[in-house]
Structure 1
């Protein structure tokens, strides 16, 4: 998915492959479900009744999982025209300020994500408005289920832990919602990696790729060959 990011270690290559495979799998499942529902609806006057909710969940997974991946491969959009006009020392300072703000944002996002998801999994929310001040007593909402997604039989073993032994008639919400804190945690981790690379001098800015300029150069190269 990225022609610029090259993992430096075997473990990094494994994680990179895992991330790209997960993103491709999510995209593939969304496409297949949507296509199948279109065919069933217009050809057979039927549908996969849980397909729409699964597709929405997969789309949320794609966004939440993909945002950290985009930080890693520097695929997020950014404008550095003014920054590039500044001296290198000033650019470095501004990059450190920018990554500090990104770290604060990702941390707050993770806190909010955990506090939203925790009740659905029977866990406690964090106290404090901005920063966690320990855990607080939270009403267990582990019995909340999705609207249409059926409960797979192979997941029935979780009922004793999350639903007091009672059976779920639909998939519990904490399972698809888990991507919310997980994706935010990955985002924070990727910004920590970027901050470390900036401090060590291995990286000069959060934006290190310029897709528009590279696309123009590619077109020029093709025109030159013609």
Structure 2
């Protein structure tokens, strides 16, 4: 595979993104392996392992979407656009980029509106695009996950005071969490949507400045042929 096709941003951000995804994949593998050994070897299990694994898989997929836009590895069909002259091809790429931006905005609104009630925050108003905030919308900051524990008391206290408290009779009442509130694993929804919007905007700017004439860089079939040819030459 020609790795020069996939631009990298050397530095802290690139390292953090790749490290986070690698850690998620590693932890998923370890947890699944340990749970299998416990189940079949000791007739036991880590009760929260399955739910945590599902959460990490969701994080991996959603963060991977924005990362795919960043290094331009999403698949696309460019058989027709490659027949166009550079100018029209760039114009078509800009239209495609604007459509991706529109989708990213809609995704961000939907992701925020789904997550916000669990974080005791207001949803946005407007059917398609945000026009404001609905401060009267019902909050669900008390909602907990099924089995995931809160790892340490400091985090538990902060989550309870921030997201599971209310005022009654002039006094602040803080309810206790027995499990991790869903707002923590679900925060990946607005985060990944925001990252995707940012990465698509970056791609559009590159096309606008003339650095690229397409949002598509990944060509798996061509890469496979190139790899096969390389191996045959080296054999």
Give TM-score, length-normalised by structure 1. 0.94
Deviation of 1:221 (Å):
2.1
- Give the 5 Å matches for 1:187-198: 187-198=196-207
Quote the Cα distance in structure 2 between the aligned partners of 1:64 and 1:154.
28
Structure-2 residue corresponding to 1:48: 46
Q: Is 2:210 the partner of 1:201?
A: yes
Quote the Cα distance in structure 1 between the aligned partners of 2:93 and 2:7.
22
Deviation string, structure 1 residues 37-68 (Cα, Å, up to 9, x no partner): 11111111111101111011111101111100
Quote the Cα distance in structure 2 between the aligned partners of 1:140 and 1:106.
25
Structure-2 residue corresponding to 1:92: 90
Quote the Cα distance in structure 1 between the aligned partners of 2:150 and 2:11.
35
Structure-1 residue corresponding to 2:141: 142
In the alignment, structure 1 segments of 5+ residues that lack a partner are none
Deviation of 1:139 (Å):
0.9
Q: Report SS of the residue matched to 2:59.
A: helix
Quote the Cα distance in structure 2 between the aligned partners of 1:28 and 1:222.
30
In the alignment, structure 2 segments of 5+ residues that lack a partner are 166-173
Contact kept? 2:74, 2:218, Cα under 8 Å:
no
Correspondence for 2:69 among 33, 56, 71: 71
Deviation of 1:79 (Å):
1.3
Structure-2 residue corresponding to 1:218: 227
Quote the Cα distance in structure 1 between the aligned partners of 2:103 and 2:93.
15
Q: Is 2:12 the partner of 1:3?
A: no
Deviation of 1:212 (Å):
2.2
Contact kept? 1:7, 1:13, Cα under 8 Å:
no
Q: Which has the higher contact order (CA 8 A, sep 6+)?
A: 2
Deviation of 1:6 (Å):
4.0
Quote the Cα distance in structure 2 between the aligned partners of 1:198 and 1:190.
13
Q: Report SS of the residue matched to 1:76.
A: coil
Quote the Cα distance in structure 1 between the aligned partners of 2:225 and 2:128.
44
Deviation of 1:89 (Å):
1.4
Deviation of 1:154 (Å):
3.2
Q: Is 2:179 the partner of 1:179?
A: no
Contact kept? 2:21, 2:60, Cα under 8 Å:
yes
Q: What RMSD, in angstroms, separates the aligned Cα atoms of the two structures? A: 1.4
